[in-house]
Structure 1
């Protein structure tokens, strides 16, 4: 037998309860809204207090929802950053490589400027140089230590002239050709330079050892001892080398010897200055005799 078409939708008890509670909720909401409207018109202060209480009661729910939204946003940003991290890393690596190249170039320019300023300072403060030339080669396999200078007697270079760099003494001209000269380095086994210790002026002799070092021996005092770090400069004794040019710094002390390294390492130089032979001026004081009687 078919169901009648005019049967009410509340044939189910659950459906009937649902409709009933829906009506009750709607009527209750309308009644509460009407009461709140009347309260806001009659007692605004009380209505404000009621809104504050409701806000306080719902604050934890609001804060929790905001926290969830922020965490979701942060998670999305983190995922995006992770996806783009590879591209950022490649970009930073390229920038770092470019900056490193520029830094190396800047350091090279700074070193070149400092070296040229030291050379300029030497030519300004010292005597007029004979020539400023490039060291184009050197010997490194024998006890004799030489370097080749691309300036010769056409530039005024002569045998015996001292050669120095920005840091100190390099050596002395051994022989000069037309456009080149051979320099005996201070580390050469046959080089002897009169020196003195700074600052007390203790005289000594610096002799090349042929292996890149200099042997320092006290002059005329057997009990004189030197220490690591002692600095020696030319004394000017005997001419040839002008005084107060840095020569060597002691870096190794043995029971019988004091070994030093040159202040101006010839292996690290590309330019050098040739100076005239130092000739100390001796001042002769003339005695003025009193006039004879009757003159």
Structure 2
């Protein structure tokens, strides 16, 4: 059965009551408005008191509505602030990363500058400096410990010359080419350096172990005690290394032979100084003629 097309209010009591209440509220609003208009015109003080009273009664409702409105308005603002803060946080993190990279580079440059200044000071104090050159490589993981120097015979480098860095002795030249030289490091098994202990002048030798460390061994004495932290410098015996160059520091206390670490680490060196031998071999002179034959 099709629904009735008649939409008159008489078919629904609820709609009748709704329409009636609408009329009543409209008439009541008009009457209240007229009364308020008359009161405001003929008795302003009474209208002001009435207005204040109504304002006081509606203030809690207005405050609640204002709080709800501000809360609703704060939602998009909070969302926008979150995304803005997130973007700003990402930008700040990127800036921190860039600053950290610059700081590390500046620290590296400052470290290199300190090492170069120290090496220049060593060169100024050196009696017979030959050349300052770069250590381009070293055999840190091999059983033989060598380093390659980018200076050779063209720069005056010869076999037997000592090589030192800002921190101490590195080794000596064993092979030379026109523009490169091979350095035998202190840690090589064939390296032996005469040394003395700084606190009492005890003579000893520093011998390479081939594993990145050296042994400090007593000379012509037994039951010699070594303490951790003992410092040894070159003694000048042998004529190759000048006296007083830092060589090694003892790691653990022991007797007669102890393990030590060299002051100069070739793996961290950029530049090294080649010096002339402390007591170079005298040049070969002419062979003297034999005694004259007997008449």
TM-score (norm 2): 0.66
Correspondent of 1:22 among 26, 35, 38? 26
The answer to whether the 8 A contact 1:248-1:260 is kept is yes
Distance 1:246 1:38 in 2: 111
User: Aligned to 1:113, what secondary structure does the other structure show?
Assistant: helix
Shift of 1:247: 1.6
The answer to whether the 8 A contact 1:143-1:209 is kept is no
Could you say which residue in structure 1 is the equivalent of 2:6? none
Shift of 1:274: 0.9
Shift of 1:22: 1.4
In the comparison of the two structures, how many residue pairs are matched?
263
User: Aligned to 1:157, what secondary structure does the other structure show?
Assistant: coil
Could you say which residue in structure 2 is the equivalent of 1:226? 227
Distance 1:193 1:37 in 2: 118
Could you say which residue in structure 2 is the equivalent of 1:249? 249
The answer to whether the 8 A contact 1:169-1:264 is kept is yes
Distance 1:212 1:41 in 2: 104
The answer to whether the 8 A contact 2:187-2:210 is kept is yes
Gapped regions of structure 2 (runs ≥ 5): 1-14, 280-295
TM-score (norm 1): 0.66
1:232-271 maps to which residues of 2 (within 5 A)? Answer: 232-237=232-237, 239-251=239-251, 257-271=257-271
Correspondent of 1:53 among 56, 59, 72? 56
Could you say which residue in structure 1 is the equivalent of 2:12? none
Distance 1:71 1:110 in 2: 51
User: Aligned to 2:210, what secondary structure does the other structure show?
Assistant: coil
Could you say which residue in structure 2 is the equivalent of 1:132? 132
Could you say which residue in structure 2 is the equivalent of 1:8? none
Tell whether 2:77 aligns with 1:73.
Answer: yes
Could you say which residue in structure 2 is the equivalent of 1:31? 35
Distance 1:111 1:43 in 2: 86
User: Aligned to 2:147, what secondary structure does the other structure show?
Assistant: strand
Gapped regions of structure 1 (runs ≥ 5): 1-10, 280-295
RMSD: 4.2
Distance 1:51 1:15 in 2: 28
Distance 1:121 1:170 in 2: 17
User: Aligned to 2:225, what secondary structure does the other structure show?
Assistant: coil
